[in-house]
Structure 1
């Protein structure tokens, strides 16, 4: 099975409350999974990587053989493609995790940078994670 992973991260105030989101889509364009995870306090770049990790881990769990990662973070995509070095020490372990996860697939297409408008669903998941966390916190107080 070949799956496209749309991933995104959101951070309010940067760094601030952050969320990761991913949407997994099959070859016919059917949504297989929508994922959202609250991250605590993180930067937008850390959240972007966490969105990719979230999607890649789920794809492996599902037994997917080949993936294509698409995201609107030009920095992350260019780092994964080897076009930019990872200079930020906080991003290095996240980058390493993404590369290790990618290596566990039988193959993967080159990660692709897409426009924000093409990534609305993953963005919605990242923001949903933050919104739900904040709502739950307000209800608890």
Structure 2
């Protein structure tokens, strides 16, 4: 199983946003990494966009067993609770779910 750690950050909420992540193998070796400027949005959207980019990169690299670790409980709850999704994040959350359906995965919270 590969581990994907992602993080989104914003300067203000909403504010200028960036996202990044790292994918490591079972030996803790870096396989892939990414970072991206995302423009203006909320901190929760930044976290979710970081997860989306990381999962998309994993799937595109034929990595199908993924353990996603994120440092925000809000994003974790939004992924696992379809009934509590804000309308402006619906599309992004659905895209994440569609990507995750192509892999064997687990998602957990990690402290900063």
**Normalised by the size of structure 1, how large is the TM-score?**
0.75
Q: 1:96 aligns with which of 94, 97, 100?
A: 94
1:15 and 2:14 aligned: yes
**Residues 1-12 of structure 1 mapped to structure 2, 5 A cutoff:** 2-12=1-11
The 8 Å contact of residues 78 and 84 in structure 1, kept in 2 or not, is answered as: no
Gaps of 5+ in 2: none
Gaps of 5+ in 1: 117-141
For residues 61 and 83 of structure 1, do their structure 2 counterparts lie closer, same or farther at Cα, with a shift above 3 Å needed?
closer
Q: Which structure's CA Rg is the greater one?
A: 1
Q: Looking at secondary structure, tell me which structure has more strand per residue.
A: 2
Partner SS, residue 9 of structure 2: strand
**Normalised by the size of structure 2, how large is the TM-score?**
0.93
CA RMSD of aligned residues (A): 1.4
Identify the structure with bigger relative contact order (alpha carbons < 8 Å, sequence gap 6+).
1
Q: Deviations over 1:42-62 (max 9, x none)?
A: 100000000001100110111
Task: Spell out structure 1 runs of 4+ moving beyond 6 A.
Answer: none
User: What is the CA distance between 1:104 and its match in structure 2?
Assistant: 1.1
For residues 70 and 8 of structure 1, do their structure 2 counterparts lie closer, same or farther at Cα, with a shift above 3 Å needed?
same
- Number of residues paired by the alignment? 112
Q: Looking at secondary structure, tell me which structure has more helix per residue.
A: 1
